[in-house]
Amino acid sequence: MTKQIWSPSQIGTAGGRNLSIHNYEELATLHAIAKILAQPKELRGQLEEILKEMSLRLGMERGMISLLDRETGEAWLDVAHDVNIQGLEVTYKPGEGITGKVAQTGRPMAVANLGKETHFLDRTGARRSLNRSELTFLCVPIIYDARVVGVLSADKVARNVENLDRELAMISSVTELIARAVHTRALEEENRRLKKIVGRTHAPSVDIIGKSRAMQEVFGLIAQVADTNTTVLINGETGTGKELVARAIHLNSLRKNGPLIYVNCAAMPDTLIESELFGHERGAFTGALHQRRGRFEEAHGGTIFLDEVGELSTAAQVKVLRVLQEKQIQPLGSSRVVNVNVRVITATNRNLENDIITGRFRNDLYYRLNVFPIYLPPLRERGTDIIMLADHFVLKFASESGKPVKRISTPVLESFLAYQWPGNVRELENCIERAVLLANGDTLEVFHLPPSLQMKTKDGEKKEQGKLRNVVESQERALIINALRETRGNQSKAAKLLGTTKRITQYKIQKFGIDPWQFRPKRTGSPAHHAAKEEPQTDM
């Protein structure tokens, strides 16, 4: 058996950049493929024609193109020639079979004698009645913007193969030509599948949308804590939807028939905090012309949501701590004590543990609030959730404004996936609202986007400068966060899991502004004590 694996550097030499290695028939095939791609046809049809050309001109039978799911790394069979895939859902996990291995490593593979290859899965069953020992199998990654977006594979009669390197070089040249089309096809298919998911999902009591692993973890935590009376602290950047999570917890709890009272702590001055939260009697202070119930009393039997709790002054923190401990409030100017049955949910975009060390936040209040923490990931860490959310907002604002907008163009989707979204879901929502208002047809185009999202390329299309860097950094950040989550914040173990050194991991953590503490199990004692026990910053 001969199995050949090429390195990425070899792909560049044999992948069509050096055309002198191709004979006349191969060059004619590449020319025919270029003409097919230039036609204004549906992408799937173009790719099917290309596989047919490879079969007719080069003897490449049972050609298949698989697309990669950027979230899971799985490859799913999308287009085939001389293979009946109707009704089949053929997928390969990363590293599974030859296709999965090529998708995972980004390196081509050639098997001279398919009959002796144990890793060949034949999921389509197309070769059951064939003599595999008479077949050679060729499998090449399709790379766009330095990322594997698909896999092209084909059989060839072994006796007609003189040189495996030459065969791989030819298929690599084809993949270079079709890379952009396959990338676009993957985005379209991903968009279609996500729209189908959104379309079949019953409208929840709250509007939280997401299929990414990070959001599935959030949903699991909500389900665990909702029907208890446990105090919850939601941590996440501004615009990530912390209020939606609080509402989801309330509406899925035994208190759902009670009130949900929202309090923005950042908007309350110290002079009014006691009156706002606990109420006052008439004449309690200048301007108190009427008796007023406080927010805690209004929330009796339900839930109070203290948003931006990290912005409370030290004096206000003392008053909030007292009501949490005693479950009682005393309105200003009154001698009466009111018992309150209230579930407390808080949220912040600050690192409260750092604030404790600097003296900005009370240690005892923190441990009262942080009984059940939920970390809400920023939009840039949620992968293709961006597409789902964008589709949702398009339908929402098109309906509200009476516009005929129904879809988002592929260049716009590329812009969305490459952008960092510092304003998170709120920024995406505002962006879509603006674009829908500007659109005249049924499709959102790049020129409908805000200037910060418009891109420019050499072709005259708009493309974000540094898109590749943004995509790579986004993926790198997500990998580090997943490793820290899996190792519960242990940076040494995370580095080992990532296959790098602790020093590099620490540098990246600092560069991307990741807080390893949020992944650590909560322990008793002060954060300062924990900080003292932090892993030593040694070089490895």
Which amino acid is present at 366? Y
Least confident of 11-25, 90-104, 114-128, 202-216: 11-25
Distances (CA, A) of 414 to 80, 148, 334: 26, 15, 60
* pLDDT at residue 50, rounded to an integer: 93
Phi and psi angles of residue 520, each rounded to the nearest 5 degrees, phi first: -85, 145
* Tens-digit pLDDT profile for residues 270-326: 767 777 888 767 655 555 557 677 888 889 999 999 999 999 888 788 888 988 888
Percent of the chain with pLDDT over 90: 28
DSSP code, position 243: H
* Tens-digit pLDDT profile for residues 495-513: 888 777 777 788 788 777 7
Whole-number average pLDDT of the chain: 80
* Residue 461 reports pLDDT greater than 70: no
Phi and psi angles of residue 46, each rounded to the nearest 5 degrees, phi first: -60, -45
DSSP code, position 384: T
136, burial (CB in 10 Å: exposed 0-12, middle 13-18, buried 19+): buried
* Tens-digit pLDDT profile for residues 368-397: 999 999 999 999 888 878 888 998 899 999
CA torsion through residues 299, 304, 306, 307, sign? negative
CA distance 400 to 362: 45
CATH topology of domain 469-532: Arc Repressor Mutant, subunit A (1.10.10)
CA distance 361 to 313: 8
CA distance 344 to 303: 6
Which amino acid is present at 48? E
Host H or E run for residue 162: none
Which residues touch 493 (CB under 8 Å, ≥6 apart)?
487
CA torsion through residues 222, 227, 233, 238, sign? positive
Torsion of CA 20, 23, 29, 30, to 10 degrees: 0
Reference 432, options 458, 461, 468, 396; nearest CA is 396
- Paired tokens of 473: 């950094």
The superfamily (CATH) of domain 213-375 is: P-loop containing nucleotide triphosphate hydrolases (3.40.50.300)
**Cβ-contact 366, 353 below 8 angstroms:** yes
77: β partners = 66
Q: pLDDT category, 460, cuts 50, 70, 90?
A: very low
* Residue 217 reports pLDDT greater than 90: no
CA distance 235 to 151: 40
* Tens-digit pLDDT profile for residues 150-201: 999 999 998 888 888 888 999 999 999 999 999 988 888 777 765 554 444 3
The CATH number of the structural domain formed by 389-464 is 1.10.8.60
Q: How many CA atoms lie within 13 A of 104 on its CB side?
A: 12
* CATH level 2 (architecture), domain 3-190: 2-Layer Sandwich (3.30)
Strands of 13-74, DSSP E: 61-68
Instruction: State the Rg of the chain over Cα.
Output: 29
Every domain of the chain and the residues it spans:
3-190, 213-375, 389-464, 469-532
Q: pLDDT category, 203, cuts 50, 70, 90?
A: very low
DSSP for 407-442, written as a single string:
EE-HHHHHHHHHS--TTHHHHHHHHHHHHHHH--SS
